[in-house]
């Protein structure tokens, strides 16, 4: 027993033994999936026509995602962007432009 105490008392603390709390930035920054999900929920609640009737599919999923990824990388708030998108996006025009309705 005394040998064990002696070794444990002389053991140095290594940096890997000390837990490192997450940085504030990473703790506050959502992942792309969380950000995108929040954007989609907010936009769809503001403009229910984005949800395809009788389906789990959403028009947002069929759109070019690059502008949304750029907004995410710039730190744009998903809720604010979703509300703005819901107000400004014309579902009928999108469907006509993409050949769904003529």
**Which residues does 79 contact at the CB level (< 8 Å), separation at least 6?**
38, 39, 42
Ranges of beta strands (E only) in 1-102 are none
Domain assignments of the chain as residue spans, ordered by start: 29-102
**Dist CA 45 CA 24 (whole Å):** 30
Q: What is the mean pLDDT of residues 12-26?
A: 51
Reported as a single tens digit per residue, the pLDDT across 34-85 is: 999 999 999 999 999 999 888 888 999 989 999 999 999 999 999 999 999 9
Record the pTM. 0.68
- The predicted pLDDT at position 65 comes to 94
The Cα-based distances of 97 to 25, 47, 64 in angstroms read 40, 19, 14
More confident residue, 2 or 80: 80
């Amino acid at each position: 027993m005394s040998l064990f105490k002696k070794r444990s008392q002389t053991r140095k603390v290594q940096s890997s033994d000390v837990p490192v709390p997450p940085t504030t930035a990473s703790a506050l920054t959502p992942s792309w999936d969380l950000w995108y999900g929040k954007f989609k929920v907010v936009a769809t609640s503001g403009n229910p026509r984005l949800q395809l009737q009788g389906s789990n599919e959403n028009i947002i999923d069929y759109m070019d995602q690059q502008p949304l990824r750029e907004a995410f990388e710039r730190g744009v708030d998903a809720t604010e962007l979703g509300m703005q998108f819901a107000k400004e996006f014309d579902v009928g025009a999108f469907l006509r432009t993409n050949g769904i309705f003529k």
